[in-house]
Amino acid sequence: MDPKNLLLIVSDEHNPKVLGCAGHEEICTPHLDALARSGTRFTNAVCASPICVPTRAALATGHNIFETGYWDNVDAYDGKTPSWHHVLRSAGHEVVSIGKLHYRGWEGDDYGFSQSLLPMHIHGGRGEVKMLLRNPPAALGDGSNMLRSAKAGESDYTHYDGEITKAAATWLRTKGNEVGSQGVEKPWVLMVSLVAPHFPLTVPAEYFDLYSGMPLKMPKGYKFGVDESAHPFLQQYARLSGYNNHFKDESDVRRALAGYYGLISYLDTNVGRVLEALQEAGLADHTRIIYISDHGDNAGARGLWGKSTMYSESVGIPMIVSGPDVAPGRTETTAVSHVDVYNSILDALGHDLSKSTASARGQSVFGPLQPDRVVLSEYHTIGSKSAVFMIQDAETKYVHYCDHRPQLFDLVKDPEEMNDLASTGGHQEQLAIWEARLRELCDPDQADRRAKQRQQELITHYGGEEAIRANVGIGGYSPSPLRNA
């Protein structure tokens, strides 16, 4: 491609269905909708893992989790596996990050950035070590914090996002003053990584009030408590997270939705401010844009909250690309994933893709995609006693559990994934074909053993299972780096 700058905007826990441009009838996302109209929206984009830390490692390295071994929220990216940051910095490009990274954060780690502003890493350089305990799992709390946090107000995270947005706008305007309207000879990458709409579901009143007075639709398939008819893994996850146990009536559900939707509108405002700064700096004609999230959120669908499942609300991500040479007003149904972002960024900067260290399966979303390609997501942490793998193309999704029966969905006839074909019988041949396709990509049982072996090593490192169960850990979510500033 003609070399251009690249602005990568990353959100946290954004359900891809909760966008105006995706057809959501209640959400207000004018800036992201405008970005989609100006470019291409990918309707079958998935994360590498439906939880924060592993998926951010995949986003950096262009490799699936089983290839690099960053399995969970304790074993974070340490810079040892080459990233697109390393490759581009070595080639003389300026590569800057602003905001949440969720890497290891140890002194001396080199993640490949030229500069990293306001970084958030895993808490204490180790995260919540209780998440290493999977069979039986350790209690992480009763889940009441999800509903309790759903209110108008300011949290550490909304304050942090405001500062990230200001820093990004300042960086862009300064860059515009440096280079003028002619662009730069050596294109740069700016990654702006925001936390919204990650819980707590506390958001400034102007956003919460957009939804708190509305008769919001109840999430599809909603059931209070634990759905005893659900797939065994989903029952297991629902019991462990405990979120839905605290929702007593529909008003509770709508209050949580008001918080989540409000955070998405707050995110949208901050995205708009960054894009406005790009325009005002005179850089828009020289810059391509990618918007993605690290994963989605169930947001009440089927009575589930948080991430960690392979349903599209959780494993799916919004992906929008825009800028020079990008077709406007287009949707792309070919399956794509975080693994493709690495080559896409190199491609956008006109970098030689033969120098890529990403997976050979990764492709650039700026170029023609193999139409029948399959993408992979995997899960190896809290809520799962054994590994979970998902592969999908544009028409079919197959979910493989190393300790439970599989799931199978026809994404054309059943885009909302309400009819699990594997539970009805009569699809054994199709299930066998899809399991074989998964095993062409990786050995799920071997990956499961490797993940558990690494987690056992870390359990020993942190004092053993008994000590970890006795509350040796971090607890809670990662604190904003501004908390003690």
pLDDT above 90: residue 1: no
pLDDT above 80: residue 321: yes
In a domain, residue 476? The reply is no
Three-class secondary structure assignment of 329-366: CEEECCCEECHHHHHHHHHHCCCCHHHCCCCCCCCCCC
pLDDT above 60: residue 102: yes
Looking at residue 92, which CATH number applies to its domain? 3.40.720.10
Whether residue 215 is preceded by a cis peptide bond, meaning omega within 30 degrees of 0, is: no
In a domain, residue 169? The reply is yes
- Which amino acid would we find at residue 88? L
**What pLDDT is attached to residue 476?**
66
Token duo for residue 256: 């949580």
pLDDT in tens, 356-370: 999 999 999 999 999
Long-range pairs for 457-465: beta carbons < 8 A, 24 or more residues apart: 458/74, 458/75, 458/129, 458/132, 459/129, 459/132, 459/133, 462/126, 462/129, 462/132, 465/133
**What pLDDT is attached to residue 425?**
81
In a domain, residue 52? The reply is yes
* CB-CB contact of 189 with 95 (8 Å): yes
In a domain, residue 310? The reply is yes
Mean pLDDT for the chain?
A: 95
Strands 396-401 and 388-392: antiparallel
Apex CA 16: angle with CA 407 and CA 224, to 5°? 60
In total, how many domains does the chain have? 1
In a domain, residue 242? The reply is yes
In a domain, residue 474? The reply is no
In a domain, residue 485? The reply is no
Residues of the chain with pLDDT > 90: what percent? 91
In a domain, residue 480? The reply is no
- Which amino acid would we find at residue 252? D
* CB-CB contact of 284 with 278 (8 Å): yes
Token duo for residue 464: 């053993």
* CB-CB contact of 188 with 94 (8 Å): yes
The neighbouring-strand residues paired with 11 are 293
Question: How far does Cα 406 stand from its chain's mean position?
Answer: 23
pLDDT in tens, 214-268: 999 999 999 999 999 999 999 999 999 999 999 999 999 999 999 999 999 999 9
Domain of residue 124, residue span: 5-469
Q: Give the pLDDT band (50/70/90) at residue 184.
A: low
Q: 160 to each of 37, 146, 164, 296, how far by Cα in Å?
A: 29, 19, 6, 20
